[in-house]
Amino acid sequence: MKTDKILEGSEAMAPACIARIISGGLLPKGGGAIWRLENELKPSDLYCYLYAKYGPPNGLQNLFRSDDSDNLIHWDWTLANEHGLVMILGLNLRSEVHLLGEWTVKGNYSLEGFVEEVKSDLASHGKEMSRIRKEVLEDWEMFVNPFKNLKESIDSLKNELDSLTLDPEQEYLPDPKSPDEFQAYNEKFASLVARYDRGAGLSMALRFMVPVLAESFINLLIFVLCRPDIKSNARLYDNFVRSNIDVKIQSLHINCIGFASEVNWSSPECARYNSIVNERNDLLHGNFAVGKLKFNEVFFNGKVPVFKEYRSMWAQSVGVSIEFSGVHKVSQDISVVEGFIEYVLSCLEPEIREQVEIFMAKRDLGRNKANNRLGVLFPDTVVDFGLSLVPEDKEANDDGPAE
């Protein structure tokens, strides 16, 4: 069934006129609607189309928004029609079309019809829409901050590890002394092994990841602060980014802006960081550093083992796993990386440090595609809300709920 057109015969008006219509009881009544648009019409296409056809956003919601990107409603065109008002709103997760007035009793209107009406009219405003995209709008690309993303993953795994409350010294389980103790021992041993196996796995994952957090931090510094003449030269920039971590760190004050002093690779913070990097590399590459991997010694007489000392079942299973995975080293490694990052930040000029810390704290960043300017485009949380139509035949003098 063919639907009637909404925008045909509708026109933009000044916000003051819209306010008078709404507050002065001049709005026709009879039937309205609220339609949700996701990508049936791309929001940027709808915005540019309305801008080209009616001029800048004119609705009352534009007066209520704060001058930043942290709003429930970002833009609002309100159009007047003989049947009432058309409000076209841009939200965080969708666009909405609000029909206020006597629309449903005066014609056959639908969301599908509205979408088709706009699409059929795009070509007639194409030139002006193109100008708006180029001259009015800034084109930004959004991307994930690897440093923040990795830090959140590390924090999550560390919280899970802490929740296991592993305490090998207090939970040490001696071998049973008699056959009567075996049943209870086996049950408790199985329970402990399950927890400690999980803890060992989390510890290994964290010890792989924690040193990378420092590397990601350095890469973030380079991305944000690299000198323009180096960043614009692909070979120089790649050579800097791909160089060994110690070379990158010692070159920061040369190749980046904002450093008040050089990063001293001989400092205690750098030395401690380099130590955990070397340990991580042994784990990551499966290096056979026997001195670090050894957990016991034994004599053999031919094929007969002669133990130098007896070790309990706990010590030979859970104990070896805990020692190798480094459960007791995780907190220390995190502390070392945090100290290293703090030291490097201390080498920055105060105002530059403040900007870098803002970028460090945000998972989602943006870059202007025209000039490569970086920015934080949105708050950390996305807020949404929904409205429903209030029946127009509801008694205006309703004093409260019926008894």
pLDDT, residue 398, reads 41
Using CA atoms, how far apart are residues 364 and 149, in angstroms rounded to an integer?
Answer: 9
Which amino acid, one-letter code, is at 32? G
As a whole number of angstroms, the distance between CA 340 and CA 294 comes to 30
Per-residue pLDDT for 242 more than 70? yes
**CA 358/CA 376 separation, integer angstroms:** 8
Distance in angstroms between the alpha carbons of the first and the last residue of the chain: 45
Tell me the pLDDT of the chain averaged across its residues. 87
Whole-model pTM: value is: 0.77
pLDDT at 360 over 70: yes
Q: Which amino acid is at 53?
A: K
DSSP single-letter state for residue 93? S
User: Could you state, in order of their start, the residue ranges of all structural domains in the chain?
Assistant: 11-136, 142-375
Q: Is 377 helix (H, G, I), strand (E, B) or coil?
A: coil
Residue 329 contacts residue 207 (beta carbons within 8 Å): yes
Is the per-residue pLDDT at 391 higher than 60? no
pLDDT of the residue at 38? 92
How do residues 103-148 score in pLDDT, each as one tens digit? 888 788 999 999 999 999 999 999 999 999 999 999 999 999 999 9
Task: Give the confidence band of 289 by pLDDT, cuts at 50, 70, 90.
Answer: low
pLDDT on residue 196 = 86
∠ Cα 344 240 228 (to 5°): 85
Name the residue among 116, 71, 78, 113 with its Cα closest to residue 93.
71
Between residues 47 and 394, the one the model is more confident about: 47
Strands 73-81 and 11-12: antiparallel
Task: Give the pLDDT confidence score for residue 280 in this predicted structure.
Answer: 82
- State the Cα–Cα distance between residues 66 and 73, nearest whole angstrom: 10
Q: In whole angstroms, give the CA distance from residue 95 to residue 41.
A: 9
- Give the contacts of 360 (CB within 8 A, at least 6 positions apart): 145, 147, 148, 217, 220
User: Which amino acid is it at 277?
Assistant: V
Cα 261 from chain centre: 32
What's the pLDDT band for 263 if we cut at 50, 70, 90? very high
Task: Give me the mean pLDDT over the 219-223 stretch.
Answer: 95
Q: What is the SS3 assignment for 291?
A: helix
Return the closest-CA partner of residue 377 out of 144, 140, 150, 152. Answer: 140
The percentage of the chain sitting over the pLDDT mark of 90, rounded to a whole number, equals 57
Give the DSSP H or E segment for 96.
strand 95-101
pLDDT in tens, 25-76: 888 887 789 999 999 999 999 999 999 999 999 999 989 889 888 889 999 9
Residues in the chain, total: 403
**CA–CA separation, 252 vs 98, rounded Å?**
54
Q: How far apart (Å, rounded) are the C-alpha atoms in residues 203 and 198?
A: 9
SS3 107: coil
pLDDT one-digit tens code per residue, 79-104 = 999 999 999 999 999 999 999 999 88
pLDDT of residue 392: 46
